[in-house]
Amino acid sequence: MILGKLAFYLNVFTVGVLSLWLSLIFIGITFRLSGSVLSTFTAKAKRRILWFIVLTPWLIAVIVTLVLMMPARLDSYANGFIATLVHWHHAYTFSLTSWHALTMALFSSVFIFGVIHRVLSVRKNLHRLDLLAQFSTTDEQASEILESNWLSTIESKLPQAFTAGLFQPRCYVTTGLRDSVSTNEYTIIQLHEQAHRRRFDPLKKLLFAFFGSFFSRVIGEQLNVAMELAMEQCADEAVLNTGKEASAIAKTLLKVTRLTMAHTPKQASVQPACDFLTPQLDERVTYLMREQKGRAFPVLITSCLFVLVTVVCLLSVDTLHHVTEQFFIH
């Protein structure tokens, strides 16, 4: 049995874990039921919505924890209005053989495993990126398009273009792709990869995948696919904003697709990376050719959803705690 401030902090961690799990479930179900609506928004709005989905559970967990635990921390507030509605029993008592300890241990194990897995994966791919840099050369043809010559070429017959690197991302194009496209098409490819580099998309892709990994495997994969599509559409739109015609960009996508399909297997790029060619070709071409790109970020809807999920999680954590207390002895 642990008493005092340490017990309080352990209970705070337990409340945070329960709140996070419940919010992940509620938001995951909401995304599962309404994920198809994403296609009606602009690429920029889709990115914001997806970040809202993966980050909101963590913010809700903090809010619910503060509301449940602050009455116990502040004696003058302990008998306040909120404390009469929701509260946490024996906040300054924590048993290592209780269900609280089991919840904390499970989440800690999952979190630590996830962090170690991501760190090892990033370390491995950064090593691959270092090797890749040794076999690549700066493309002088890109000096007027990519500032500071951030485009490198790789001697390979396989047609491929991608952006890789976390804090200093670089754009890579194989000689097989460069020599198979026209000057205008090559410019489009460069501008597309430059958009990824400017936004630090490889780093954001890694962070998004980390937060998305706390959802169920199916939902996590759907979130990653949706974010990949949104990032590519944003990069395509960035090229469009430079004055390039949508039809020219679409033709370049189709040409690179044909070139890639003629070479199997596809060369594996360094992950996390942003490839010029992705499986969602139809969606990218359709988005490019649309005059109206879609709706803006739904501030009102997301705000209402945030408040609703926060209240539901707050009541659910309090109810779960009281119900469980009836069956377990601390």
DSSP annotation string for 21-83 = HHHHHHHHHHHHHHGGGGGGB-HHHHHHHHHHHHHHHHHHHHHHHHHHHHHHH-GGGTTSHHH
Rounded to two decimals, the pTM is 0.81
User: What would the pLDDT profile of 1-46 be if each residue is shown by its tens digit?
Assistant: 666 677 777 777 777 888 888 899 999 999 988 878 888 999 999 9
Torsions phi, psi of 152, nearest 5? -120, 150
Q: Which of 150-154, 273-277, 300-304 has the highest mean pLDDT?
A: 300-304
Task: Note the pLDDT of residue 308.
Answer: 92
Task: Choose among 264, 234, 248: nearest CA to 186.
Answer: 248
What pLDDT score was predicted for residue 71? 60
Rounded to 10 deg, the angle between the 201-212 and 183-199 helix axes is: 50
Q: How far is CA 211 from CA 50, 52, 87, in A?
A: 11, 11, 28
Residue burial 277-294, b: 16+ Cβ < 10 Å; e: rest: bbebeeebbebbeeeebb
113-118 long-range contacts, Cβ below 8 Å, gap at least 24? 114/210, 114/213, 114/214, 118/206, 118/209, 118/210, 118/213
| Pairwise CA distance, residues 84 & 297, whole Å | 37
The domain limits of the chain are 1-37+54-109+298-330, 135-295
**Looking at residue 114, what is its pLDDT?**
72
* Residue 101 Cα to chain centre, angstroms: 29
> Any residues with CB less than 8 A from the CB of 85 and at least 6 apart, and which?
318
pLDDT above 90 for 282: no
Higher pLDDT, 72 or 155: 155
- Per-residue pLDDT reduced to its tens digit, 197-213: 999 999 999 899 989 98
Most confident of the ranges 64-73, 119-128, 228-237: 228-237
Residue 191 · residue 244 · CB < 8 Å? yes
**Mean local confidence (pLDDT), 214-225:** 91
Q: Which helix (H) or strand (E) holds 238?
A: helix 217-241
Q: What sign has the CA pseudo-torsion 261, 267, 272, 273?
A: negative
Provide DSSP, 150-200.
-EEEE--SS--EEEE-SSS-EEEEEHHHHTTS-HHHHHHHHHHHHHHHHHT
Q: Could you tell me if 310 and 60 are in contact, meaning their C-beta atoms sit under 8 angstroms apart?
A: yes
Instruction: Please give the backbone phi and psi of residue 280, each rounded to the nearest 5 degrees, phi first.
Output: -85, 50
Residue 111 pLDDT class (50, 70, 90 cuts): confident
Ranges 51-65, 97-111, 265-279, most confident: 51-65
Give kind and range of the element (H or E) at residue 111.
Answer: helix 99-134
> What residues contact residue 259 under an 8 Å CB cut-off, 6+ apart?
159, 176, 177, 180
Confidence of residue 228 (pLDDT cuts 50, 70, 90): very high
Each residue's pLDDT tens digit, 120-155:
877 777 777 777 766 667 665 554 555 556 888 888
Other Cβ atoms within 10 Å of 133 Cβ, number: 16
- What's the pLDDT at 248? 93
Q: Are strands 273-275 and 161-164 parallel, antiparallel or unpaired?
A: antiparallel
Residue type at 109? S
Distance CA(218)–CA(67), nearest Å, equals 32
Query: Which pLDDT score is estimated for 264?
Result: 58
| Span of 110-114, 196-200, 206-210, 219-223 with lowest mean pLDDT | 110-114
Q: What is the pLDDT of residue 193?
A: 92
pLDDT more than 70, % of the chain: 74
Eight-class DSSP state of 328: -
